[in-house]
Chain A
């Protein structure tokens, strides 16, 4: 276990360093643009030079990288040039907002997808299975930037039931969360459903299920006691990996509904070449990616007795 954790942490640190170097190198392509973004398009060349000079942009790239890395290691994420304040001050509330959105999404996706997946995998090829499968393909095929306008047209403009933006201007308002969460749920639940279905269908063809049916157990008991336990191991991994996907999947939705979350922040930072903000966001993203992967692996080992006891 200790070796496992050490290896994971080491690989996480390596990945973080690689990603941060990649980003630094990518922004090097036209570094002068940073001054234009800060000072505006009508600033003179001298003003830009002075700004770049004062903020240390003329140092060689490795010096700037080393400086950033040193600061980052002691918890100083630098200053955002877009928001003109500490990066952590901007990022933390945004992360919390996205976490709330993600919680709402998972609270619906997990039960719905698992139930539908189990129902359709239980009797492969049945009418129910076919309709659930086709529904999940259809909903996964509608991209977020298409389902968001479609849902807004119906619920905001025609029915007038929900607010069209989720800016949370007047404090936190759960009603404003419904549309962004719905868009993410629609796009996301199909994938988890299909994975659960595949896993359930595979379990249903195994010998111990046949034995259980043949020895005359009630069908309900076969499903609940015998099949579900093994069928739900694979979806657990899939759901953990969805956390990582959601972190970038929220970009379009947050942009569309003007929700002040992590994805919108990341988009704004990249559009403005706000290097320290991008770096900090990227580190969070990598951290989440590696952590969810590790949790998925640990959970898989724990849930699967064949691995646990070997």
Chain B
């Protein structure tokens, strides 16, 4: 690994100051620039994160009264006719858009056949079966996905890592028991667990997080267990044991940081998979409740109309695929770099 700080000690002196944590993180991210695939992944992911942040900013500004319709329409506001992509939103005088009189928020058309009506913007991706702007629903939907997928993944790791560390470090009956639990959960089609759980306790964001944690933790546990089995025989672990460090210290300070490489790669892959899972639940009608935009739900609602209005289903499909692709490419780039040294 080419480390900028290591070169300072080239004159035979060891570097006196260990680089700060932040600068090491920055140096690590800079390494990713060597991988084209990884950079494309970073680009896609950043694109969607920016969208989600803009969507949040947009709704904050609309709520504060700074903007009246926002940069894009609110997700459930525009009740226009079914329109193909790139069509103009023309509203006649006296109507309301998002409960505001059209005169206040749109510009009047002064010439042409629609003279006297108001132009309220363009439906870049058309409207869906209820006349809502598809672009704005995808735009706001990115918030939902990028909030709950990382939370669910984080929870899965928060449960899976301690289990894996305990199983790998302790061995014996702890290992047998935890491995058996993992086997039981993994031997069953995961999707059915989700469906059963969600139909029993109802669809809400928290329940989806719980279901994903339950189903993903065993897989994480297996990975961490394997890594721990390897790392627990290292000298620094023996040293810590000899020093009389408590077990939790050895697990979380000595072993876990040294297992981070594969875990970071796995977390990116898993994030992509969790996004797919949330989408599948939405697709099966078990996702977040309807009015909020949710990519999987959008595909489910509009797939019946794909014959006459293909744009309604194509764009949400592309949105979710590009986000998952971003995380997968990122994971591949990270793996390529971590294998290099």
Q: Using CB atoms, name the residue of chain B closest to A154.
A: B310
* A-facing residues in B287-336 (Cβ within 8 Å): 296, 299-300, 303, 306-307, 310, 313-314, 316-318, 320-321, 324-325, 328-329, 332
Contacts of A290 in B (CB 8 A): 187
Interface string of A248-281 (1 = CB under 8 A from B): 1001100110000001001100110100001001
Q: Is the CB of B187 within 8 A of A15?
A: yes
Contacts of B300 in A (CB 8 A): 145
Please give the distance in Å from B301's CB to the nearest CB on chain A: 12
The answer to whether A19 and B324 touch (CB under 8 A), given A137-B329, A255-B284, A270-B192, is no
The answer to whether A251 and B191 touch (CB under 8 A), given A143-B321, A143-B324, A157-B306, is yes
Complex partner residue of A248 from B191, B317, B318, B321, CB under 8 angstroms: B191
Q: Is the CB of B192 within 8 A of A251?
A: yes
For residue B89, CB closer than 8 A to chain A, the reply is no
Question: In the complex, A302→B143 CA distance in Å?
Answer: 50
Please give the distance in Å from B125's CB to the nearest CB on chain A: 15
Q: Is the CB of A248 within 8 A of B190?
A: yes
Q: Is the CB of A29 within 8 A of B313?
A: no
For residue B184, CB closer than 8 A to chain A, the reply is yes
For residue A163, CB closer than 8 A to chain B, the reply is no
Contacts of B283 in A (CB 8 A): 145, 252
For residue B246, CB closer than 8 A to chain A, the reply is no
For residue B173, CB closer than 8 A to chain A, the reply is no
Complex partner residue of B317 from A27, A146, A270, CB under 8 angstroms: A146
For residue A149, CB closer than 8 A to chain B, the reply is yes
For residue A141, CB closer than 8 A to chain B, the reply is yes
For residue A6, CB closer than 8 A to chain B, the reply is no
Contacts of B201 in A (CB 8 A): 29
For residue A88, CB closer than 8 A to chain B, the reply is no
For residue B263, CB closer than 8 A to chain A, the reply is no
Q: Is the CB of B200 within 8 A of A153?
A: no
For residue A303, CB closer than 8 A to chain B, the reply is no
* B-facing residues in A4-51 (Cβ within 8 Å): 11, 14-15, 18-19, 22-23, 26-27, 29-30
* Secondary structure dominating the interface of A: helix
Q: Is the CB of B320 within 8 A of A146?
A: yes
Q: Using CB atoms, name the residue of chain B closest to A252.
A: B280
Q: Is the CB of B192 within 8 A of A248?
A: yes
Q: Is the CB of A153 within 8 A of B306?
A: yes
For residue A285, CB closer than 8 A to chain B, the reply is yes
Contacts of A242 in B (CB 8 A): none
Q: Using CB atoms, name the residue of chain B closest to A286.
A: B187
The answer to whether A30 and B200 touch (CB under 8 A), given A145-B296, A149-B306, is yes
For residue A150, CB closer than 8 A to chain B, the reply is yes
Q: Is the CB of A15 within 8 A of B183?
A: yes
For residue B124, CB closer than 8 A to chain A, the reply is no
Q: Using CB atoms, name the residue of chain B closest to A282.
A: B188
For residue A140, CB closer than 8 A to chain B, the reply is yes
Contacts of A209 in B (CB 8 A): none
Please give the distance in Å from B262's CB to the nearest CB on chain A: 14
Question: In the complex, A149→B279 CA distance in Å?
Answer: 14
Q: Is the CB of A285 within 8 A of B189?
A: yes
For residue B242, CB closer than 8 A to chain A, the reply is no
Contacts of A252 in B (CB 8 A): 191, 280, 283-284
Contacts of B329 in A (CB 8 A): 137, 141
Q: Is the CB of A266 within 8 A of B310?
A: no
For residue A95, CB closer than 8 A to chain B, the reply is no
Contacts of B151 in A (CB 8 A): none
Contacts of B296 in A (CB 8 A): 145
Most chain A CB inside 10 Å of its own CB: which residue of B196, B284, B307, B310: B196
For residue B252, CB closer than 8 A to chain A, the reply is no
For residue A289, CB closer than 8 A to chain B, the reply is yes
Question: In the complex, A47→B184 CA distance in Å?
Answer: 37
Question: In the complex, A15→B181 CA distance in Å?
Answer: 9
For residue B337, CB closer than 8 A to chain A, the reply is no
Contacts of B307 in A (CB 8 A): 156-157, 164
Q: Using CB atoms, name the residue of chain A closest to B313.
A: A149
For residue B74, CB closer than 8 A to chain A, the reply is no
For residue A134, CB closer than 8 A to chain B, the reply is yes
Complex partner residue of A23 from B196, B313, B321, CB under 8 angstroms: B196
Most chain A CB inside 10 Å of its own CB: which residue of B186, B189, B272, B329: B189
Please give the distance in Å from B286's CB to the nearest CB on chain A: 9
Q: Is the CB of B184 within 8 A of A153?
A: no
Complex partner residue of B313 from A26, A153, A273, CB under 8 angstroms: A153
Complex partner residue of A146 from B197, B299, B332, CB under 8 angstroms: B299
For residue A142, CB closer than 8 A to chain B, the reply is yes
Where the two chains meet, the residues of B that have a C-beta atom closer than 8 Å to any C-beta of A are 37, 180, 183-184, 186-192, 195-197, 199-201, 272, 276, 279-280, 283-284, 296, 299-300, 303, 306-307, 310, 313-314, 316-318, 320-321, 324-325, 328-329, 332
23 contacts between A and B (CB under 8 A): A15-B184, A18-B180, A26-B196, A27-B196, A133-B37, A137-B37, A142-B324, A143-B321, A143-B324, A145-B299, A149-B299, A153-B313, A248-B189, A248-B191, A251-B191, A267-B284, A270-B192, A270-B195, A271-B199, A278-B192, A278-B196, A281-B192, A285-B187
Closest 7 interchain pairs by CB?
Answer: A248-B189, A141-B325, A146-B317, A289-B187, A145-B283, A270-B195, A143-B276
18 additional contacts (CB under 8 A) given A18-B184, A270-B192, A273-B199 = A15-B183, A15-B187, A19-B187, A26-B196, A27-B200, A133-B37, A133-B332, A134-B37, A137-B37, A145-B279, A146-B318, A146-B321, A153-B306, A247-B189, A266-B192, A278-B192, A286-B188, A289-B187
